[in-house]
Amino acid sequence: MIYKLPPLPAFSPPSSPLKPSESKRKVESSNSESSVIQSPPASIHSSPSSQSFQLSPNPEQLPLESVQDNHMDVDAPQEHYHLNPASESHTLWERRALLFANPTLWSPIPDDLPLLAPKGWLESSLIDWYILKQITSSDIPAKMTFIPCQIIADLMFYIQSHPEAHTVPEEIKAKWESLIPPQQQTFLQQHPQITTHAAFGVQQANHWFTVIFDHTFQSVYVFNRIFLKTQQEKKTRDNWTVWKGPQLWKLVADLMNWNPGPIPDNIRALSWFGNGSDCGVELTEILIDLILNTAMRIDERGIWPLKPHLSCSHVFREQMLYQILPSVNEAYQFWKANHNLNIPEVMNWNNDIVMDIMQSLARQRMACHECTLTPNSMLEPTQDVSFQSPSDPAGHQDPDQNLPIPHDGVDILTSPLIDMEKVKRKIIRIDPDFDDYNTGPTLQETMGVPNHIKNFPIFNQTQLDPLSIWSLWTDYGYRIDNNFAQTFISQSPEQPEEHYLPINHQSGEHILLESIKRWDLTRRNNTREAISDISFLGMQELLELPGDSRSGNGFDLFIRGIKYDPEDCEKEEMVHLDITRDAVPTENVPVYISVDIDSLIWKTHRLHLKASINIHMAPYMQTKPPINAHNRTYVNLLKPQTDIQRANNEYTTYDRFEVSDIPHIHFGHLQGGINVWIAFPRMTHKQQDSPYFATQILILVQDRWFAFILIPAIKKIYGRGSKEYVNHSPQEYKARAAGKTETRLVDRIKLQELQDQIHTIIQEDRDEDLNIFGSFFFIMDIRGIKLTNKDRDHLGNDPFEVLADVIPALDFDYMSKPENGECVIDLGISASPEAEQPMVGLWNLTKVDASFAQAGTNTPHLFNVGTLADYGAVSAEYPIDRASVIQMRYRMAYNLIFEIVRGNIQFPENSDAYAANGTFHARINQIINLYTDAKQSSYGVREELRASIQTVKALLPVANQKMAAYVNAKTVIWIPSRIYFAFWIRRIQELKFLQTRVAKQRPSNACNLTLLNMYLIKTIVTNPREDSFTRFVLQDLNFQPSSQRFGIFFLTTLHRHTLAVHQMEQDDDSVIQHVTSMNGKRKQCQKDIDEDPRRTQEYPLGTHPSWHEITDILYTNPTLIVNTNSNLQVCQSGNGQIHEIVIQLFCKWTHNYTRTINPIFLTEPENYPQPENWHDILNFWTVNQIQDTFHSPAFLPHKSHWKGLPGGPKQLSFGERFKSFFPPLEADFLTSSVWHLLKGIGYLKDYHTFLSTKSEHDILCLQDGLRAAFELLE
């Protein structure tokens, strides 16, 4: 019978009433005589956001008997349940497996695996896993107790909130006990010295260092906390208070059951050279050496620790990689074998990521002298753990148990199986005369100066002149053959229907990792917050809670994600956004399916058309190349021959290039948005001292193409009667183009002659080095043509027939033949809701990701719309080998709400957002207006597949049926448009309000907070590109796990008053420069009052501030020196009626004058001031009130009352300026002027009426009163 171990903590849904004790009794009731631990097929599970795994489409279920024989309810809650690794009911091997099957150990590794690449900064998951694996697999008793990094992180966090604590919380102790290596429990009896030394790693900022606590001699040893910049060793006494060492000693002593004693004062530190990126690798190697090999080694005097022997970091990284890969796989197998939950099979490691790591490490090893001396045997994968059970002493194991990593990024067994031996391949005979193969440079001639010589100082000193254009844009030896465009090798697509929109019913969306269930999000500096009360709310429920937009409730709900109890204001709950509460069931939403062809890309060496083409006659002048992003198409270029191959006339091999990496320019265009580019593969190279390809051909190089090749060829194909129209020089063509475009029409017959002439000119050239333009090929690019063939039933049912009618220039029969190149087209299919009320559709990422995995794609890229946890868009390429036979290149699923802003939106610049100026508010209001109008419309979802013409033709008959079944499988969630757009409008408004506060208060993290706000706004409507500064902010805030935990990203640690954000760093000069485009030092001009005794509370800048200090403080913090006394009163004249008129005119002037300001500058709509008395006037004309009323106002100084200031024109005081606002009666204004309107119906009408009807004495009294009022405002 099958014996199944209890489920591990952290992965059981909290639905069953079964208690842990009852669960344990049920397990013990099993009367098995022997135990066989079942191992399911090799697989790894990860969340949809993982970049290293994919869900499998065909899960292999556990044997039925294993489910029936197990009498334990696996749904038992596990909050306080911990397996005892030393339990006598399990063998030592089983206890080891239980230790590593704990998901808290293995689940973070998929995302952290790429950090094993050179210069990767290791995370604690990799360090803990590798060290624990070494300890448990070794027969050597441990000489010290290893405390995992995550336990130390927990202790460091606990110290922050309890600096005087002497005892470790029970939950940390329980977690520590679950991570103790099994054999260590046995060794404790025989080797008590294990407990007298504790070895662990501490993370300070982004640096790892090793610490040894010696309880016997009350000593602390620290290794390389501050690494040196020179090759030497330094021995010092460490200031361990910097990294909370004394408090950590107390907690570790309690964790290790040491007798409490005095804090040690013998803190010895050893430092040596470090590079800043291998600190985690050194930590791991040091701990393994001390724990298993040498123990603590002290110098001859017994004072200073000795430096452990360290191997090259590249070798050690490879060792870690080869051991982590199979061991994590086995841990997952063991964990899954002991659960009856419907857990999806998942695929092996993404081979692209793994191979990139292996290759980068191998390259580093080959380039390093120390690494080349390492025996190869050290780099082989270890096989120290197997699934051989005690009842199977012979060790009969599944031969496929530890398979090599598959060639694709997915497990080939879970995707549609393709027998490569039965695939009928295209046969295109290679033409040996197709290109010029023996005249180009060899590989050795194109290698250039090696980097290690370039970086040598003497090289830079002797290299006086920079490399010329023609030394960079030259022939690098690449050539093409007549098979260069063929990346699809099969004669016909293999199993196209099986790979198109497959449905994976076992996507596992109901399983939520415990690390995501609990608000326990560890940051880089090992801090976390714990909040127990969580309120699950939908979009509509959130909209109903805050009330008026002017209240502060919206800020807490939509930004911070905090809900306050209406009866108890001190009680707060975290909000989890669950949009399924707003969703309409799929069966209640009728959907219309429509199929179309959206774009076309054709690579060919011979351009053939059915219509004329306009040939460009002037250089391409845009800032970016025509194809400025990877379009998921490739070409195969023949690599340059080596010297030996050239001597022996041997054929070389291919290199696969992205089409976007080949230098190219425009060649021609046709009606209907059809562009034709021409590519020059012989000039393929990377930019100087850069990893990126140079694809933007320089103007001087283009001039040679047009002057010596294209223009002469055009002249030759035109007849005698047309010479006057084509007989121009390149300069004349550029002048005629005037920076735009200049073309000549060439018919389809002349087009063939033109191509022949171009080849002839290049081949016959002897003087102008035109060979760099040889081996050229064409790229036809047609985009956005879905509307030309969508819903065109009146023209035909076949989109190809419709395309032939609306774009007659294309010859699809010619384009589909492999000898004429390779053509891929985008098959688009949309699902549009037709419900009674407008609806919005969003793809469910878990379901769609599972479908992508079942289709056999690479690891997809996920875009979470508005940072929603599980809804958005997905895109992925197919692995090269699979794509070559199924003839599918790329798949994408996105939401049609993107059409609202496609081409209609321009986001504000970071500098505009930082200042919260009118441009910022205008552009944000544009988004709000677009979403407001969208409430009346429905938006569905769309799938696009980039594939060959043959594949698309095979899928067209079944596309509608496949899409209907796909949507009905609940891959889409439908939300009423009024709810969806209202929610995002409110969130944008709250983010805009937050940014306005940032601009006003200017906290120390203003720039970082601006970047975050702009990113959150952009994610609502599009998929923004993260710059490095924004990426750092998101990493510090633990962005992805937080979004998963709360359904959307909430800024939970944002202080509602100071706008300080826990875990967000203060702005430094680089981020200030990036956001504001200003010198970061400008912020530092404001000095501390205590630095200058002349600076007092009354005179913050001193009694004699400089003009620069005045202007700077008005820019940064005007309230520091500008204050208004609310008790100021206008001196009443003898005529009390005149006094009242002064106040009335001033009230009306304030209202009318502010009404002339564009409303986009108002913080709240129609919030113009309406003062009624003198007190209201004084309250409004203050810095604080103006900042509250208008967005980002600027305050400028004037020099009317200052002495000793820089020279310049005289400036009037406020009192002298009153006539500018109260002009005399005879003043005349243009009818288009706002003053003309104020004179007709505003305060000027009242003022001029007074001037024309009252006596001179009254007029003078009125003007004196107005002047006095302005002076009081000053």
Same domain? 1109 vs 1219: no
Decide if pLDDT at 724 tops 80. no
1111 & 1225 share domain: no
Q: What sections of 115-169 are H helices per DSSP?
A: 124-137, 149-161
**Per-residue pLDDT tens for 438-455?**
788 888 777 765 554 555
Rounded to the nearest 5 percent, the helix, strand and coil shares of the chain are 40, 15, 45
Q: Is the pLDDT of residue 189 over 80?
A: no
pLDDT at position 345 over 70:
no
Residue 1151: both structure tokens together: 């209202």
Q: Give the pLDDT band of residue 591 (cuts 50, 70, 90).
A: very high
Rounded to 5°, angle at Cα 564 from 562 and 569: 140
| Confidence tier at 179 by pLDDT (50, 70, 90) | confident
Q: Is the pLDDT of residue 21 over 50?
A: no
Q: What is the CA radius of gyration of the chain?
A: 37
**Selection from 906, 681, 640, 649 nearest residue 776 by Cα:** 681
Residue 1218 lies in a domain: yes
The amino acid at 838: P
**Which of the given ranges, 362-371, 760-769, 922-931, has the highest pLDDT on average?**
922-931
Tell me the HSE value of 1253 on the side-chain side, using a 13 A CA sphere.
Answer: 6
User: Domain range holding 1257?
Assistant: 1136-1273
With H, G, I as helix, E, B as strand and everything else as coil, classify residue 390: coil
| Same-domain status, 1227 and 1104 | no
Query: What percentage of the chain exceeds 90 in pLDDT?
Result: 29
- pLDDT mean over 18-44: 33
Which 3-state string (H, E, C) describes 264-308? CCEEEEEECECCCCCHHHHHHHHHHHHHHHHCCCECCCCCCECCC
pLDDT digits (tens, 9 = 90+) for 644-692: 888 887 777 889 999 999 999 999 999 878 999 999 999 999 887 778 8
CB atoms near residue 381 (< 10 Å): 15
**pLDDT per residue as tens digits for the range 1186-1205:** 877 877 777 777 767 666 66
CB atoms within 10 A of CB 955: 22
Q: Give pLDDT, residue 206.
A: 81
**Residue 1038 region, left (φ>0) first, then alpha (ψ -120 to 50), else beta?**
left
Residue 899, CB-side half-sphere exposure with 13 Å CA sphere:
15
SS3 state of residue 1120: helix
Contact of 1270 with 1243, CB cutoff 8 Å: no
Asked whether residue 369 is domain-assigned, the answer is no
Residues 378-382 have a mean pLDDT of 37
- Asked whether the beta carbons of 1100 and 1165 are under 8 A apart, the reply is no
Q: Are 695 and 646 in contact (CB under 8 A)?
A: no
With 0-12 CB in 10 A as exposed, 13-18 as middle and 19+ as buried, what is 1182? middle
CB atoms within 10 A of CB 143: 18
> In degrees, to the nearest 5, what angle opens at C-alpha 440 toward C-alphas 436 and 442?
135
Position 86 pLDDT exceeds 70: no
DSSP code for 1162: B
Instruction: Look at residue 947 and give its three-state secondary structure.
Output: strand
Predicted local distance difference test score (pLDDT) of residue 300? 56
Whether residues 1103 and 1144 fall in one domain: no
Q: What is the band of 1088 on the pLDDT scale with cuts at 50, 70, 90?
A: very low
Model confidence pLDDT, tens digit, residues 610-657: 999 999 988 888 889 999 999 999 999 999 988 888 888 777 788 999
DSSP single-letter state for residue 398: -
Core vs surface per residue 410-420: b (16+ CB within 10 A) or e: bbbbbbbebee
pLDDT of the residue at 183 = 59
Nearest CA-CA partner of 672 in 775, 554, 784, 536: 784
List, in sequence order, every residue forming a beta bridge with 777; answer none if it has no partner. 679
Rounded average pLDDT over 310-333: 81
Is residue 744 classed as helix, strand or coil in its secondary structure? Answer: strand
Q: What is the pLDDT of residue 1078?
A: 54
What pLDDT is recorded for position 821? 94
How many CB atoms are located within 10 Å of the residue 673 CB? 14
pLDDT at 414: 57
Query: What are the residues facing 212 on neighbouring strands?
Result: 199, 221
Both tokens of residue 556? 């807490």
Would you say residue 1147 has pLDDT above 90?
no
pLDDT of 979 above 90? yes
Per-residue confidence band for 1169, with pLDDT thresholds at 50, 70 and 90: confident
- What pLDDT does residue 1134 have? 55
As for how many domains the chain has, the answer is: 2
In our burial notation (b when 16+ CB lie closer than 10 A, e otherwise), range 502-532 reads: bbbebbbbebebbbbebbebbbbebbbeeee
With a cut of 60, say whether residue 1159 has pLDDT above it: yes
Pairing outcome for strands 871-877 and 861-864: antiparallel
Compute the C-alpha angle 896/897/903, nearest 5°: 95
Residues 114/353, Cβ–Cβ less than 8 Å = yes
Cβ-in-10-Å burial (0-12, 13-18, 19+) of 173 comes to middle
Model confidence at 386: pLDDT above 90:
no
Task: Establish if 1268 belongs to a structural domain.
Answer: yes
Cβ atoms of 1193 and 1186 closer than 8 Å:
yes
Tens digit of each residue's pLDDT (9 = 90 or more) over 1220-1269: 888 888 888 888 888 888 888 888 888 888 888 888 888 888 888 888 88
Residues 6+ apart with CB under 8 A from 381: 322, 323, 325, 326
Q: What are phi and psi of 303, to 5 degrees?
A: -115, -55
Q: What does the pLDDT read at residue 1082?
A: 41
Bridge-based pairing state of the strands 674-679 and 664-670: antiparallel
Residue-by-residue DSSP string for 660-699: GGS-EEEEEEETTTEEEEEE-GGG--BPTTSSSB--B--H
- Mean pLDDT, rounded, for 908-936: 89
Query: What pLDDT is attached to residue 922?
Result: 85
The residue out of 1065, 1094, 1120 marking a domain boundary is 1120
Same domain, residue pair 1098 and 1209: no
**In a shared domain, residues 1239 and 1210:** yes
Positions of E strands within 319-427: none
Q: Is 1255 domain-assigned?
A: yes
What share of the chain in percent tops pLDDT 70? 75
pLDDT for 365: 66
In this structure, are residues 617 and 706 in contact, taking their beta carbons and an 8 Å threshold? yes
Question: What angle, rounded to 10 degrees, do the helices at 1069-1076 and 1028-1036 form?
Answer: 120
Question: Is 1161 found in the same domain as 1093?
Answer: no
| Rounded average pLDDT over 895-918 | 87
How confident is the model at residue 109, as a pLDDT? 83
Instruction: Give residue 828's pLDDT.
Output: 94
Whole-prediction pTM: 0.61
Q: Is 822 helix (H, G, I), strand (E, B) or coil?
A: strand
Phi then psi for 452, rounded to 5 degrees? -70, -20
Question: What pairs with residue 1223 in β-bridges?
Answer: none
Are 1192 and 1252 part of one and the same domain?
Answer: yes
DSSP count for the chain of H helices, then E strands: 49, 24
Higher pLDDT, 483 or 28: 483
Mean pLDDT for 280-285 is: 90
The residue that leads in pLDDT, 555 or 383, is 555
In this model, does residue 47 exceed pLDDT 50? no
262 burial type by CB count under 10 A (0-12 exposed, 13-18 middle, 19+ buried) = exposed
In total, the chain counts a number of residues equal to 1274
Q: Are 1097 and 1192 in the same domain?
A: no
Integer Cα distance of 736 and 380 in angstroms: 66
The span from the CA of 520 to the CA of 633, in Å, is 43
Confidence of residue 351 (pLDDT cuts 50, 70, 90): low
| Rounded Cα–Cα distance for residues 1227 and 1211 (Å) | 22
| Model confidence pLDDT, tens digit, residues 730-763 | 777 777 766 667 888 999 999 999 999 999 999 9
Report d(CA 974, CA 585) in Å as an integer.
7
Q: What does the pLDDT average to over 715-728?
A: 76
Task: List Cβ neighbours of 640 (8 Å cut-off, separation of 6 or more).
Answer: 440, 441, 442, 443, 445, 446, 476, 477, 478, 652
What is the rounded distance in angstroms from the CA atom of residue 333 to the CA atom of residue 402?
Answer: 12
pLDDT band at 820 (very low <50, low <70, confident <90, very high): very high
Q: What local confidence, expressed as pLDDT, does residue 1116 receive?
A: 67
pLDDT score of 403 more than 60: no
Clarify whether residues 1251 and 1173 are in a common domain: yes
Q: Are 1196 and 1114 members of one domain?
A: no
**What mean pLDDT value characterizes the chain?**
77
Each residue of 948-971: pLDDT tens digit? 999 999 999 999 999 999 999 999
What are the b/e assignments for 346-360, b being 16+ CB within 10 Å? bbbbbbbbbeebbeb
**Do 1147 and 1254 fall into the same domain?**
yes
Q: Is 646 helix (H, G, I), strand (E, B) or coil?
A: helix
Q: Could you tell me which residues come within 8 angstroms of residue 1247 by beta carbon, excluding any fewer than 6 positions away? A: 1145, 1222
DSSP 970: I
DSSP 433-475: TSS--SSSPPHHHH--S-HHHHTSHHHHHH--SPPPHHHHSS-
Tell me the torsion sign for CA atoms 1109, 1114, 1116, 1121.
positive
